[in-house]
């Protein structure tokens, strides 16, 4: 299938590991120009080198990839990153809203500072990005915004109170924006991953082992028992869904929350 995104510019947030990195790689393989960010310089440089290699194999020039060490909650740094992207790669046609997840925890363990940080990381930063990037897409008459959320939008997840509360609001943002920009040719969607094999899930496993005194095999067996497909997802699988939603043929899909969880959520059709 021709995804129709060769030569278009994508901004991929939180792209040094996990889902963001997998999305950046697949976009580069499609011939898109990629601006990527994350906080840590070392992981970002390693990821950017891989993305540049894939971009070159897809026939893109050496300047098709821009990587900057930026925290998505730092408004001034994000503005500089977006402005540099516009100048060197062109105004973003595709945007991946992504960041680390809020820390695990239960209601009585989480103080006001933890709530405030989760709000800033997983909701306010997304709103600010949309406000800055969507108008340019609308002016150019084409755009694709995809947000990575979590199955916690569909069903609260044990021990992940912050995610289970903040992420439904983050999807509501996407739903509202989708209505506002629909007539301008811009689609806006969320994806809701279940358990996937990324470094974020490795951290959850480590915490469960410490909390419960169980083994890694116990944790994985407990999760996979609840997943009809009987395994964790791969970041590449989720990235393929994201890149499809960013493509030309996905132009009639907007305002949606698309779940990729191996069948874990039982509550909704
Ligand atoms: N993996 C899963 O099973 C799963 C399931 C549901 C939802 N999710 C959610 O999906 C999102 C991505 O998760 P992942 O599994 O890909 O995680 P990951 O493997 O830990 O990767 C997270 C990426 O985000 C970057 N990042 C974190 N905080 C950032 C910030 N403030 N500004 C810029 N970049 C930041 C990290 O780099 P730096 O740390 O260097 O900044 C890294 O590149 C998270 O919100 C996670 O909660 C994951």
Kindly report, residue by residue over 155-198, the tens digit of the pLDDT: 999 889 999 999 999 999 999 999 999 999 999 999 999 999 99
Q: Tokens 């963001």 sit at which residue?
A: 20
Q: Is the CB of 43 under 6 A from ligand 1?
A: yes
The reply to whether ligand 1 has any atom less than 6 angstroms from the CB of 154 is no
Question: With a threshold of 0.95, does the pTM exceed it?
Answer: yes
DSSP per-residue codes, the chain: ---S-TT-EEEESS-SSHHHHHHHHHHHHTT-EEEEEES-HHHHHHHHHHHHHHHHHTT--TTSEEEEE--TT-HHHHHHHHHHHHHHT-S-SEEEE--PPPPPB-GGG--HHHHHHHHIIIIIHHHHHHHHHHHHHHHHT-EEEEEE--GGGTS--TTBHHHHHHHHHHHHHHHHHHHHHGGGTEEEEEEEE-SBSSHHHHHHHHHHHHHH---HHHHHHHHHHT-TT-S-B-HHHHHHHHHHHTSGGGTT--S-EEEESTT---S--
CA distance to 76, 156, 259, per residue, from 79 (Å): 5, 33, 31
User: How far is ligand 1, taken at its centre, from the CA of residue 268, in Å?
Assistant: 26
The answer to whether residues 24 and 47 touch, using CB atoms and an 8 Å cutoff, is: yes
140 alpha carbon – ligand 1 mean position (Å): 30
**Residue ranges per structural domain of the chain:** 9-194+234-259, 196-232
Residue 152, ligand 1, Cβ within 6 A: no
Which of 103, 123, 124, 129 has its CA nearest to residue 13?
129
CA 199 – ligand 1 centroid, Å: 8
Residue 137 near ligand 1, beta carbon < 6 Å: no
Tell how far the Cα of 64 is from the centroid of ligand 1, in angstroms. 23
- Is the CB of 200 inside a 6 Å radius of any atom of ligand 1? yes
- Any atom of ligand 1 within 6 Å of the Cβ of 16: yes
Q: How far apart are CA 133 and CA 121, in angstroms?
A: 17
- Which residues, at least 6 apart from 206, have a Cβ–Cβ distance to it below 8 Å? none
pLDDT score recorded for residue 149:
98
HSE-up of 124 (CA within 13 Å, CB side)? 11
Which of 38, 46, 204 has most ligand 1 atoms within 8 Å of its beta carbon, as the pocket-test mutant? 38
Which residue CA neighbors atom 31 of ligand 1 most closely? Answer: 71
Shortest-distance Cα residue to atom 14 of ligand 1: 18
CA–centroid distance, residue 50 to ligand 1 (Å): 18
The answer to whether domain 9-194+234-259 has CATH 3.30.360.10 is no
For the Cβ of 262 lying below 6 angstroms from any atom of ligand 1, the answer is: no
The pLDDT score that the predictor gives to residue 134 is: 98
The minimum-distance atom of ligand 1 relative to the CA of 163 is: 47
pLDDT digits (tens, 9 = 90+) for 248-266: 999 999 999 999 999 999 9
pLDDT in tens, the chain (269 residues): 999 999 999 999 999 999 999 999 999 999 999 999 999 999 999 999 999 999 999 999 889 999 999 999 999 999 999 999 999 999 999 999 999 999 989 999 999 999 999 999 999 999 999 999 999 999 999 999 999 999 999 999 988 999 999 999 999 999 999 999 999 999 999 999 999 999 999 988 998 899 899 999 999 999 999 999 999 999 999 999 999 999 999 999 999 999 999 999 998 66
- CA 199 to ligand 1: nearest atom: 19
List C-alpha distances in Å: 256 to 58, 142, 174: 30, 18, 8
Residue in the structure block whose two tokens are 């509501």: 172
Picking from 101, 94, 128, the residue whose alpha carbon sits closest to that of residue 23 is 94
For atom 25 of ligand 1, the residue with the nearest CA is 14
Q: Write down the pLDDT at residue 208.
A: 87
């Amino acid at each position: 299938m021709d995804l129709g995104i060769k030569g278009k510019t994508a901004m991929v947030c939180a792209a040094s590991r996990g889902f963001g990195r997998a999305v950046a790689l697949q976009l580069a393989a499609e011939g898109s120009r990629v601006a990527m960010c994350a906080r840590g310089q070392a992981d970002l440089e390693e990821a950017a080198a891989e993305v540049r290699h894939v971009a070159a194999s897809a026939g893109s020039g050496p300047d098709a990839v821009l990587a900057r060490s930026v925290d998505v909650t730092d408004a001034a740094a994000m503005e500089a990153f977006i402005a540099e992207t516009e100048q060197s790669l062109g105004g973003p046609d595709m945007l991946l809203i992504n960041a680390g997840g809020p820390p695990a925890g239960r209601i009585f363990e989480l103080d006001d500072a933890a709530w405030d940080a989760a709000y800033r990381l997983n909701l306010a930063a997304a709103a600010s990005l949309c406000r800055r990037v969507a108008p340019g897409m609308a002016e150019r008459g084409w755009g694709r915004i995809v947000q990575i959320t979590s199955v916690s939008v569909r069903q609260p997840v044990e021990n992940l109170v912050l995610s289970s509360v903040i992420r439904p609001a983050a999807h509501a943002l996407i739903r509202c924006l989708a209505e506002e920009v629909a007539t301008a040719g811009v689609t806006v969607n969320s994806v809701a991953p279940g358990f996937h094999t990324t470094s974020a899930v490795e951290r959850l496993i480590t915490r469960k082992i410490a909390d419960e005194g169980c083994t890694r095999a116990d944790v994985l067996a407990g999760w996979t028992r609840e997943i009809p497909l009987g395994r964790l997802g791969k970041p590449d699988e989720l990235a393929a869904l994201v890149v499809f939603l960013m493509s030309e043929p996905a132009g009639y899909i907007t305002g949606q929350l698309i779940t990729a969880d191996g069948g874990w959520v039982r509550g909704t059709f």
